[in-house]
Chains A and B, each alone.
Chain A
Amino acid sequence: MKVTVDEDKCCGAGTCVLLAPDVFDQRDEDGIVVLLDESPGAELHKIVREAASVCPGVAITVSEDA
């Protein structure tokens, strides 16, 4: 799994951090997403897919074949 984030689309909700704090964080100054782990382990795949699906800014993309 390869995770990418689009900082321009991120609205700073922090939904991803609430779901998967090992994979996502937010910048202190403006709340924009910080990707901590672009290739999370298999145990995190399901929750990262959920984070991508529910992201209110549509800022997270998950590619399954990387």
Chain B
Amino acid sequence: MNAPGDVLVVGASAAGLATVEALRRKGYEGRVTVLGAEAHLPYDRPPLSKQVLAGSWAPGQAQLRTPAVLSALDAEFLLGDPAAGLDAAARAVRTAGGRELTAEAIVLATGLRPRTLPGQDGLAGVHVLRTLDDTLALRADLTPGKRAVVVGDGVLGTELAATLCGLGVPVTLAGPQPAPLACQFGPLVAELLAKLHAGRGVQLRLGAAVTGLADEAGRVAGVCLDSGEVLPADVVVVAFGAAPATEWLSGSGVLCDNGVVCDSRCRAADGIYAAGDVARWHHEGLDLLLRLENRTNATEQAVAVAGNILGEDRPYTPVPYFWTNQFDARIHVHGTLSADAEVSVVDGDVAGGRFVAQYRRDGEVTGVLGWNMPKQARQRRQEIAGVPAFAGGQA
């Protein structure tokens, strides 16, 4: 296959930027255009809930690349103009600002939109955290004396609770699981997380679903639980999941079902590819359609997409990986964990605050979790069943 004459990347975050970098690294010299919904130069999202919200980083420190490095990529960045429609057969993208862009290859990397609660829109004091602007708006709302409730007991919710607590904000964490991340981490690690948060002063109000928000004169006043209880709040952060940003692809000719559905080459249609949080592709190693919302997937899938655009014709078969930092716990997860897995500590010890846990199902290792042992956890990746040789290394 010949390389396309030009490439359009829709999405200017980690996956979009990594696609451009990989194309250039692989020697692609054609025209590259990057369309971004936000006006900011490409920036990184993991620091938003941690360093940027905490104020230990200025917003500019979350930038993915310096302007000089971006400029050396010789790509045109069209920022602040969200994609509004795609015609897959014509390989044409229409933007909110009225642009009509065409390219021989198009990469869909529009990421996620946070889920929201009924009645949330327009209610003062209620926040989501996906973008830099979201983060700065939340930070600006945290005036002294305000009580916060974080809705969502997953990775983002627990990170937010830890950061807010560190800022001295009285914070309650609400969510349906018995302990934070219990459905994924299982009882051993989830209980440790619960102890960590409670010990630092986070009020845990878990095991009850959030049904809505209470308001008073246009501002949020509390979070309503299905138990009938109302948690008083001056600031609420809603962090109970996100959905792939695919509304704009309606009628495009590309199949969307919990993400852009792709083949094992991350190809959604002729000349149309997807990368990052929005892509649901066929993982040949696991033999299932998989969509990963994590930072390393954004860049590694982008490398695979760039290669396939240039005719490498390789399946994308990563080992899922994510990390989360909460208070002084640095948690690293390789592979797949589940609440019903058999968990054994294979390095370090739980009481000492440093350990590696191995997760097994049906006798096979499916995942590894490191608690303050990042290197040792990474070294056990090869124990995970079906792990291919590391997917990188193909420039």
Contact among B64, B303, B332 for A58, CB-based, below 8 A: B64
**Contact indicator B295/A50 (Cβ below 8 Å):** no
**Contact indicator A46/B395 (Cβ below 8 Å):** yes
**Contact indicator B372/A30 (Cβ below 8 Å):** yes
Contact among B18, B64, B325, B374 for A14, CB-based, below 8 A: B374
3 residue pairs, one from A and one from B, having the closest CB atoms? A31-B374, A12-B374, A14-B378
The reply on B277 being an interface residue by CB < 8 A is no
Q: Give CA–CA (A50, B300) in the complex, Å.
A: 10
Q: Which residue of A lies closest to B26 (CB)?
A: A46
Q: Which residue of B lies closest to A46 (CB)?
A: B395
Q: List 18 A-B contacts (CB under 8 A).
A: A11-B330, A12-B375, A13-B296, A18-B378, A18-B390, A19-B390, A19-B393, A26-B374, A30-B374, A31-B332, A31-B373, A31-B378, A46-B395, A47-B395, A50-B25, A53-B21, A58-B44, A58-B64
Q: Give CA–CA (A15, B332) in the complex, Å.
A: 12
The reply on B299 being an interface residue by CB < 8 A is yes
Q: Give CA–CA (A14, B378) in the complex, Å.
A: 7
Report B-chain residues with C-beta under 8 Å of the C-beta of A46.
25, 395
Given A19-B390, A31-B374, A49-B25, the answer on whether A54 and B332 have CB atoms closer than 8 Å is no
Report A-chain residues with C-beta under 8 Å of the C-beta of B374.
12-14, 26, 30-31
Report A-chain residues with C-beta under 8 Å of the C-beta of B249.
none
Q: Which residue of A lies closest to B372 (CB)?
A: A30
**Which among B46, B299, B303 has the highest number of chain A CB atoms within 10 Å?**
B299
The reply on B359 being an interface residue by CB < 8 A is no
Q: Give CA–CA (A30, B390) in the complex, Å.
A: 22
**Contact indicator B332/A50 (Cβ below 8 Å):** no
Q: Give CA–CA (A7, B75) in the complex, Å.
A: 29
**Contact indicator B393/A50 (Cβ below 8 Å):** yes
The reply on B22 being an interface residue by CB < 8 A is yes
The reply on B323 being an interface residue by CB < 8 A is yes
- Given contacts A28-B375, A47-B393, A57-B46, list 11 more A-B pairs with CB under 8 A: A11-B323, A14-B374, A14-B375, A18-B378, A30-B330, A30-B372, A31-B330, A46-B395, A50-B303, A54-B300, A54-B392
The reply on B321 being an interface residue by CB < 8 A is yes
Report B-chain residues with C-beta under 8 Å of the C-beta of A26.
374-375, 378
The reply on A35 being an interface residue by CB < 8 A is no
For A1-25 the 0/1 string (1 means CB < 8 A from B) is 0000000000111110111000000
**CB within 8 Å of A: which B339-390 residues:** 370, 372-376, 378, 381, 390
**Contact indicator A54/B296 (Cβ below 8 Å):** yes
Given A13-B323, A18-B392, A46-B25, the answer on whether A54 and B18 have CB atoms closer than 8 Å is yes
Q: Which residue of B lies closest to A34 (CB)?
A: B375
Contact among A18, A30, A49, A56 for B299, CB-based, below 8 A: A56
**CB within 8 Å of B: which A24-56 residues:** 26-28, 30-31, 46-47, 49-50, 53-56
**Contact indicator B22/A53 (Cβ below 8 Å):** yes
Quote the shortest CB–CB distance from B297 to chain A (angstroms): 9
For B10-21 the 0/1 string (1 means CB < 8 A from A) is 000000001001
Q: Give CA–CA (A17, B377) in the complex, Å.
A: 13
Q: Give CA–CA (A57, B374) in the complex, Å.
A: 14
**Contact indicator A56/B296 (Cβ below 8 Å):** yes
Report A-chain residues with C-beta under 8 Å of the C-beta of B21.
53
Q: Which residue of B lies closest to A26 (CB)?
A: B375
Q: Which residue of B lies closest to A64 (CB)?
A: B72
Q: Give CA–CA (A15, B25) in the complex, Å.
A: 18
Quote the shortest CB–CB distance from B23 to chain A (angstroms): 11
Q: Which residue of A lies closest to B302 (CB)?
A: A54
Q: Give CA–CA (A28, B348) in the complex, Å.
A: 12
**Contact indicator B395/A13 (Cβ below 8 Å):** no
**Contact indicator A54/B372 (Cβ below 8 Å):** no
Quote the shortest CB–CB distance from A52 to chain B (angstroms): 9
Given A17-B378, A31-B374, the answer on whether A50 and B323 have CB atoms closer than 8 Å is no
